[in-house]
Amino acid sequence: MKILSLKPGHDGTIVYLSEGQLMFSLEGEKNSFRRYSAVTVNLFVEAMSYLKELPEVVAVSGWYKGVGPLDNISTVSDSGYDGLDNIISENSTFLGKDIKRFSSSHERSHLMCSYGMSPFEQGRPCYALVWEGVLGNFYKIDEDVNITSLGQVIEDINCDGMFEVYDLNYDQVAKFIYEDNIIAWVQGKYEIGPRALGNRSLLASPFQEEMQARLNQIKKREGYRPIAPICLEEDVSEHFDWSDPSPYMLYFQKLKTDQLKAVTHVDNTARVQTVNSSQNPQLHELLIAFKGLSGFGVMCNTSLNFLGTGFINEMSDLVYYVQQQKLDGFVVNNKFYVAR
Ligand SMILES: [Fe+2]
């Protein structure tokens, strides 16, 4: 069988096998490229110059999007990283020839590679351990090469011990924000469009100018960029020159107070989002708890995303973001995580 095999992400490699013979193996990092380099267009073109025939199988390794497991932007490519049944095997074409397109998850590839390279005959059942940067797991491989996971050695590698975890208590979270901590706030599904309307937000206290600077630093934005307020709908006319609902943050208002410094732009305006209890009951309740402490049902609200990307939607991305940007904590649905 003639197999062209590509591992696109971390430790990117292009390999060609013909009838069990290794014809070439090119790695992205060789020639003094950075360690862990992905396959580049140049590497692919070079590999194609060595290819003397068309393959029968094109195999692409499952991986995260991105190079390293922690710089992934949530989703996976091909068969992904985790999973024992994640195989793609389908008919396709390659340079005009009918071929089989194959992909296996990274986890399964570890097991199949070690099984295939083991010294004993194929078909003998065995146990296996995968121990690498993300996976730590024991497996059983039976005589038909079915794999069963036997138990994790590494559990929840990214979260273990890094956070104190509480059931969501609005008074506790409001107090945490009132004490000038910045949290990520995740509730339910993310919003359509680019604007955080209370389901994928960074929330913070609205009173200090420094909070605006700190939020812009976290967001890697210019220091002069305004931070929008989110406000109890029933209180909007008290703090802003506005009396209607503004659930989509579409209108500018003059401020009626000089106390909301973190959300007041240089021209004394803000672009408020109002919240009522049917539109976003969780955030409405949090604003009521915050008002109980501060006298203002208003907070800073800005979108929860890496610079230049869409909203965060995976726990692994969120934990990475919280670590990278040094947030003080986060809420995901009914759990509150405080950074240790
Ligand atoms: Fe690995």
pLDDT of residue 68: 57
In this structure, the answer to whether residues 242 and 310 fall within a common structural domain is: yes
Residue 190 structural domain: 163-339
Q: Residue 39: pLDDT above 50?
A: yes
Q: How far is the CA of 130 from the centre of ligand 1 (A)?
A: 8
Segment of 190-194, 284-288, 303-307 carrying the highest mean pLDDT: 284-288
Q: How far is the CA of 93 from the centre of ligand 1 (A)?
A: 29
In this structure, the answer to whether residues 20 and 90 fall within a common structural domain is: yes
Q: Among 60-69, 111-120, 184-193, 250-259, name the one with the lowest average pLDDT.
A: 60-69
Q: Residue 81: pLDDT above 80?
A: yes
In this structure, the answer to whether residues 116 and 167 fall within a common structural domain is: no
In this structure, the answer to whether residues 332 and 189 fall within a common structural domain is: yes
Q: How far is the CA of 329 from the centre of ligand 1 (A)?
A: 30
pLDDT of residue 73: 47
Q: How far is the CA of 300 from the centre of ligand 1 (A)?
A: 40
Q: How far is the CA of 60 from the centre of ligand 1 (A)?
A: 15
Q: How far is the CA of 52 from the centre of ligand 1 (A)?
A: 30
Q: How far is the CA of 46 from the centre of ligand 1 (A)?
A: 25
In this structure, the answer to whether residues 277 and 334 fall within a common structural domain is: yes
Q: How far is the CA of 110 from the centre of ligand 1 (A)?
A: 7
pLDDT bracket for residue 160 (50, 70, 90) = low
Q: How far is the CA of 179 from the centre of ligand 1 (A)?
A: 42
| Domain membership flag for residue 142 | no
Q: Among 117-121, 124-128, 159-163, name the one with the lowest average pLDDT.
A: 159-163
In this structure, the answer to whether residues 81 and 201 fall within a common structural domain is: no
**3-class DSSP string for the chain:** CEEEEEECCCCCEEEEEECCEEEEEEECCCCCCCCCCCCCHHHHHHHHHHCCCCCCEEEECCEECCCCCCCCCCCEECCCCCCCCCEEEEEEEECCEEEEEEEECHHHHHHHHHHHCCCCCCCCCEEEEEECCCCEEEEEECCCCCEEEEEECCCCCCCCCCEEEEECCHHHHHHHHHCCCCEEEECCCCCCCCCCCCCEEEEECCCCHHHHHHHHHHCCCCCCCCCCEEEEHHHHHHHECCCCCCCCCCCCEEECCCCCHHHCCCCCEECCEEECCCCCHHHHHHHHHHHHHHCCCEEEEEECECCCCCECCCHHHHHHHHHHCCCCEEEECCEEEEEC
Q: How far apart are CA 311 and CA 301, in angstroms?
A: 14
Tally of structural domains, the chain: 2
In this structure, the answer to whether residues 169 and 312 fall within a common structural domain is: yes
Q: How far is the CA of 108 from the centre of ligand 1 (A)?
A: 10
In this structure, the answer to whether residues 291 and 192 fall within a common structural domain is: yes
The larger pLDDT score, comparing residue 115 to residue 122, is at: 115
pLDDT of residue 75: 53
Percent of the chain's residues with pLDDT above 90: 67
Q: How far is the CA of 212 from the centre of ligand 1 (A)?
A: 41
Contact (CB, 8 A) for 31 and 56: no
Q: How far is the CA of 340 from the centre of ligand 1 (A)?
A: 29
Q: How far is the CA of 63 from the centre of ligand 1 (A)?
A: 9
Q: How far is the CA of 81 from the centre of ligand 1 (A)?
A: 9
Q: How far is the CA of 139 from the centre of ligand 1 (A)?
A: 15
Percent of the chain's residues with pLDDT above 70: 94
pLDDT of residue 229: 97
Mean pLDDT value across residues 23-46 = 90
Contact (CB, 8 A) for 61 and 106: yes
Mean pLDDT value across residues 206-223 = 93
